[in-house]
Amino acid sequence: MPIDMRRKHVSGRTLAVLLAALLLAGCGAPREARAKTVFAMDTVMNLSAYGKSADAALEAAEREIYRLDAMLARGVEGSAVYACNHGAAPEGELAELLALAEEIGAAADGAFDPYLGGVLDLWGFGSGAGEHRVPTETELSEAPRLLDLGGVAKGYAGQRVCDILREGGATGAVVDLGGDVALFGQKPDGSAWRVAVKDPAGGAYLGVLESEGGRYIATSGVYERFFEQNGVRYHHILDPRTGRPAESGLVSATVICESGVWADALATAVCVMGAEQALQMRAALAETTPFDVILVTADGRVLYTCEGFAPDAGNGYACERVF
C-alpha cells in the first residue's frame, strides 16, 4: 500500500479541521448519509459517507484506521515505529511516510521534526512520557532522537480513508479524525461542504469555511494540551530548534491543503514559526504545495488567506484577509 508521493505536489486542500470544533459539514444534506464512529489514535473519529455502497466502504475505512494506528503508535511494542526506535530500519510504507515527513520538516526550516519523541517525553507530552515537568537544558540537549509520527498520522489516515471510501463506491464523505478533517466528492444536493472552524478561546466558532471535496484541513493550537508549573504555563507545541514550547505569537493555526500529510504537519509547523514566517513559507511553496491558513494570534486577530472562509461577525476578533 505505497504512499502516493505526488500528493505533496497537488494544490491546496480543504475540508475542515476544527480540533474539538463544531462540524457543519452535514448542514442541509439529505438523510442518506451513513455514519461510523471509531476510537483510534487516542481520539474519537466520526466518518460520514454518501452512496449506495457507503456502509461497506465505511467498514473498510474503519479497518484501515486500526491498521495505521497499530503501525504508527510509538509507545506500543510491536508497532513499526516502536521497532524503528529500537534499532530496526524503516521499510515500505513507513519509510515513505517518514521521508515525506522529513521533506516537510526541511521545507518548514526545522519547525517540524519527526524525531522529536525524546524531547516530548521529557516534557510529559510523549507516548512514553511520565508526569509533566520542565526539563533542564542539559536534558534537552541530550534527548534521544526518537521517531514520532504523531504530527502526520491523522493526516495520512485521512488520505487513506478517503482513498478507501472512494474505491468502495462512496460518492462523498466527511472524515473527522479529531483535529484533521477530510472532504471528498460531493453532497447529494451538490452544495458546498460547510465547516465551522474552532475558536481557541472557547467561543462558538471563528467562522465557516465553504469547500469543495478533495481538501484536508488540520488545526493545531497551544490551548489543547498544557500544564502549569510555578505559575508558568507550558504547552505541547514544541519548537524542535529549542526543545521548548513555541513562542510564536500564535494561539492556533488551521492549514487547508490537498494533502493530508502536509496539512497535518504544517499546522504544527505554522504554530511554531508564527504568522510572518508562515506566510513567507506559503509563498515559497505556492508552485509545488499550495495551502491556505487561518491564524489566530495572541493579541486577538484572525488572519486568513482563503476566499472560502467567512469570519463570524460576533467572534470578538479583528479579522483580516491576507495574501
Q: Which domains does the chain have, with CATH numbers?
A: 5-321 (3.10.520.10)
- pLDDT at residue 129, as a whole number: 56
Give the C-alpha separation, 55 to 68, whole Å.
20
- pLDDT at residue 26, as a whole number: 41
- pLDDT at residue 35, as a whole number: 97
Grid coordinates of 281? 513559507
Number of C-beta neighbours around residue 276 at 10 A = 10
Question: Angle between the 260-273 and 153-167 helix axes, to the nearest 10 degrees?
Answer: 160
**For residue 106, which phi and psi values (nearest 5 degrees)?**
-65, -40
- pLDDT at residue 7, as a whole number: 33
Do 13 and 263 meet the contact criterion of CB atoms below 8 Å apart? yes
**For residue 42, which phi and psi values (nearest 5 degrees)?**
65, 30
Q: Name the one residue in this structure whose C-alpha cell is 467562522.
A: 207
298-317 pLDDT, tens digit per residue, is 999 999 999 999 999 888 99
- pLDDT at residue 291, as a whole number: 98
- pLDDT at residue 70, as a whole number: 97
- pLDDT at residue 27, as a whole number: 41
- pLDDT at residue 130, as a whole number: 73
**DSSP assignment of 75-91:** TSTTSHHHHHTTTPPP-
Where the chain has pLDDT below 70, the residues are 1-31, 128-129
- pLDDT at residue 14, as a whole number: 30
Give the C-alpha separation, 92 to 229, whole Å.
42
- pLDDT at residue 22, as a whole number: 34
Give the C-alpha separation, 247 to 272, whole Å.
7
- pLDDT at residue 321, as a whole number: 97
Grid coordinates of 124? 510529559
- pLDDT at residue 127, as a whole number: 76
129-144 pLDDT, tens digit per residue, is 579 999 999 999 999 9
Give the C-alpha separation, 170 to 55, whole Å.
9
